A and B are shown apart, each in its own frame.
Chain A
Amino acid sequence: MDFKDYYKTLGVSRDADADEIKRAYRKLARKYHPDVSKEPDAEDRFKDVGEAYEVLKDPEKRAAYDQLGADWKAGQDFRPPPGAGAGAGPRPGGGGFYYSSGGGGAEQQGFSDFFETLFGGGRMGGMGRGGAEEFQFRQSRPSRGEDQTARIQISLKDAFHGANRTLELRTPDGGKRSIRVAIPPGVTEGKRIRLAGQGMPGFNGGPAGDLFLEIGFQPHPVFEAQGRNVLVTLPVTPWEAALGETVSVPTLGGRVELKIPAGSQSGRRLRLKGRGLPGSPHGDQIVTLRIEIPPADSDEARKLYEQMRNTMAFNPRRDIEV
């Protein structure tokens, strides 16, 4: 197993006092808290920081950890010395793991093997709650399993039509299990689906926790969702914009005809009512026109542009002249 350098994780020296350790922990916990952080590895970092603080804030655990010596490097293959480990009894709550929230649950996906080897396991609640007393209580009473949260990326088409998706979840013993979940049509980005009883298993006959799926959308080359509305940029020719035209536009439900009013400028927004994501009410599709200028790459095209220049008294900068 890999050695964990808890001092390095918190960015403190080996002789840091309790206040310094607490300050460093608080700062990093705010930075990596998965509810507020956008760092890609926030969840793992938050977990590491919580584990480091769990050890360094406790004088007994810190002393046991320090006895290993200062020569170890983070990530180095670690074999515990004889007699080390599991001496600190059941661990009190602390640190806190985003994806194991829950009041009554045992915490099964918390600390690293390195921690477990040194300080023993015991199934304890995380999230800064619990403690030895609660540990005793939980050992004899049924307790609910912890909730889990997972993020799932779906396509906009799946959000529009609804879909069934198979998910692979980690189990407490390090294994995997699969579930098949219905994604309802009209789900929007950031929304969550609760699957009751699909979280971590309970203990002593307690019920399982819940699984919360947080919906994210895969980027789409044409469509972008904004709530239930769907945004599309539609390239049009100068003559379609100037003279007006009915053109075919893609929507998530298939192509529809859109009338471009004569005299449209680039950036004009046209609304296709009810063509966004389904719901109550349905979203709209917002089409933004973008006029594409044909290149003057032939004599004929160049002549047409010259003719326009000579016959049209048009000054697009009239409003910004001072």
Chain B
Amino acid sequence: MTRDEMDILMGQLLDESLEVEFAELCSMCHASEDFVLELVAEGVIEPEGPERAHWRFTGRSVYRTQVALRLHQDLDVNLPGVALVLDLLEEIRQLR
């Protein structure tokens, strides 16, 4: 198949304009509801909306949830540690 014949895939840009619901975030990140609730309680991700049924998360939350899960599972970092690492990683990225 030549390049011109290939279907062009339209992806979902994970930026601040993206809005996903609680269940969608869990599914997208393969994270349990309990884990995501703990991230919210720890302030690692911050939903918009008054209660869980109306929570909306941005693309930044998707990324932070995925990295949090990997750090937690691969390195046994607890959630306050995960929060600290994520904040420092963002700061380093901004400084660069």
Chain B residue nearest to A189 (CB atoms) is B93
Q: Looking at the complex, which of A13-21, A80-88, A97-105, A247-255 is the stretch in contact with chain B?
A: A97-105
Q: How far is the CB of B7 from chain A (nearest CB, A)?
A: 7
CB <8 Å contact, A96 and B11: no
Q: Looking at the complex, which of A109-117, A193-201, A232-240, A264-272 is the stretch in contact with chain B?
A: A193-201
CB <8 Å contact, B12 and A103: no
CB <8 Å contact, A180 and B6: yes
Q: Binary interface profile of B, 3-32, with partner A (CB < 8 Å = 1, else 0)?
A: 100111111111101000000000010110
Partner of B13, one of A26, A36, A184: A184
Give the CA-CA distance A29 to B70 in the complex, in Å. Answer: 12
Tell me if B67 counts as interface (CB < 8 A to partner A): yes
Tell me if B34 counts as interface (CB < 8 A to partner A): no
Q: With A101-B69, A180-B6, A182-B8 given, is the CB distance from A193 to B13 under 8 Å?
A: yes
Q: How far is the CB of A201 from chain B (nearest CB, A)?
A: 16
Give the CA-CA distance A159 to B59 in the complex, in Å. Answer: 18
Chain B residue nearest to A29 (CB atoms) is B75
Interface residues of A in 253-297 (CB under 8 A from B): 280
Give the CA-CA distance A102 to B30 in the complex, in Å. Answer: 6
Number of interface residues of A (CB under 8 A): 40
**Which chain A positions have C-beta within 8 A of B3?**
166, 180
Give the CA-CA distance A188 to B60 in the complex, in Å. Answer: 13
CB <8 Å contact, A35 and B73: no
Q: How far is the CB of B33 from chain A (nearest CB, A)?
A: 12
Chain B residue nearest to A180 (CB atoms) is B6
**Which chain B positions have C-beta within 8 A of A101?**
30, 66, 69-70
Q: How far is the CB of B12 from chain A (nearest CB, A)?
A: 4
Partner of A35, one of B7, B59, B67: B67
Q: Binary interface profile of A, 106-130, with partner B (CB < 8 Å = 1, else 0)?
A: 0000000000000000000001110
**Which chain A positions have C-beta within 8 A of B83?**
none
Which 5 interchain pairs have the tightest Cβ spacing?
Answer: A103-B30, A193-B11, A96-B74, A180-B6, A194-B12
Q: List 11 A-B contacts (CB under 8 A).
A: A33-B75, A36-B71, A101-B69, A103-B30, A179-B9, A180-B9, A191-B15, A192-B14, A194-B11, A195-B12, A280-B17
